[in-house]
Amino acid sequence: MTAVRELGILIALAVVVVVTAVVNPLFLSGQGIRDLLLNACLVALLTVGQTMVVITRNVDLSVGSVLGLSAFVTADTFAVNPVLAIVVGIVVGALCGLVNGALVGLGKVPSLVVTLGTLSVFRGLDFMWAHGRQINAANLPDGFLALGSGSVFGIPYLVIITLVVLAVAALHLGSYRSGRELYAIGSNPEAAVLAGIPVGRRVFTTFLLSGTVAGLAGVLAVARYGTVDATVGTGLELQVISAVVVGGVAIFGGSGTVAGAALGALLLSTIGSALEVVHIAQFWQQAITGALLIAAIALDRSVALRVAARLRRQSRGVSA
């Protein structure tokens, strides 16, 4: 099912690109492709942590606020030490993830409640730290800003970093026991406990990783955009969740891949860019994203019901 969803995303992506290129051939120029990839990078990066969380039948609504807080702390710390600033930005994200993980994984508080609360808490801390200030590119080292605009062999650094993180996460989920156990937790948490899987610790780790990746994304957001204030990342959590679900990660847990989630991020970003090219209002991007999200959830639910019905029929057949 996941492979079919990913193939569908690739087909939809191809259709959007081809149709838009017919309207404006520059859409497929070298710079056009570069812009598409860069625009999708931060959301695709955030989908890595979010995918792991959602696979365990949880959700992290705080990623946008974590990115924003990490971004401002990173930019503000550059005045002290550039290397320290990057480390601090990632650590801030990890600490935010630790708070979420402790409350959800160890405290057994529903993730929706926890991360809805920490979304506001982390954003409030961001505003307190910023205190109305804005940090501009002129206050940041050129070498660091090059991380957001530079490339090697024509491939932007941000794209390379995103692909590396995606590859590591995919390897972990597919080849290591701790990664495969996340699917077992999402499929049936009670059965996972009976099977001896440390559910609380695994869920804690997914939120810790989600926060750490969001902290890294905050650092890269500073390099990408240069200008940082307390509103950076506002509303980004909805884009990330939409990309994850559209990319084939079941919102009810137990299935999905980081590759599919990244493709979902690329599709949504490409749709947004295409609408701008053909001069369609931004509202339609939000409407299309919402429609795709609803369709993906409905599809996942439909498949889950059919699978459950099939298993019940097989169970009756065995009993007979």
Q: What is the pLDDT of residues 117-166, one digit of tens each?
A: 999 999 999 999 999 899 998 888 888 888 888 888 888 999 999 999 99
Give the list of residues 6+ apart from residue 21 with CB closer than 8 angstroms, or none: 27, 28
Nearest to 41 by CA among 160, 140, 168: 160
67 has pLDDT over 60: yes
Percentage of the chain surpassing pLDDT 70? Answer: 93
Q: Is the Cβ–Cβ distance between 246 and 267 less than 8 Å?
A: yes
Q: For the chain, how are helix, strand and coil distributed in percent, rounded to 5?
A: 80, 0, 20
Q: Is the pLDDT assigned to residue 180 strictly greater than 70?
A: yes
The tens digit of pLDDT for each residue in 197-213 reads 999 999 999 999 999 99
Task: Give the model's pLDDT for residue 246.
Answer: 87
Residues contacting residue 253 through CB under 8 Å, at least 6 positions apart:
54, 55, 56, 57, 58, 185, 186, 187
Q: Which range marks the domain in which residue 43 is found?
A: 2-319
Residue 74 maps to which CATH number? 1.10.3470
pLDDT band at 304 (very low <50, low <70, confident <90, very high): low
CB 114 within 8 A of CB 179: no
The count of structural domains within the chain is: 1
Which residue is it, tokens 């930005």?
89
For the chain, the distance separating the N- and C-terminal CA atoms, rounded to the nearest angstrom, is 30
pLDDT at position 320 is 52
Three-class secondary structure of residue 254 per DSSP: coil
For the whole model, what pTM was predicted?
0.89
Mean pLDDT (the chain, rounded): 88
What would the mean pLDDT of 234-262 be, rounded to a whole number? 89
Tell me, what's the pLDDT at 109? 95
- For residue 213, what pLDDT is reported? 97
Burial 181-201 (b: 16+ CB within 10 A, else e): bbbbbbbebeebeeeebebbe
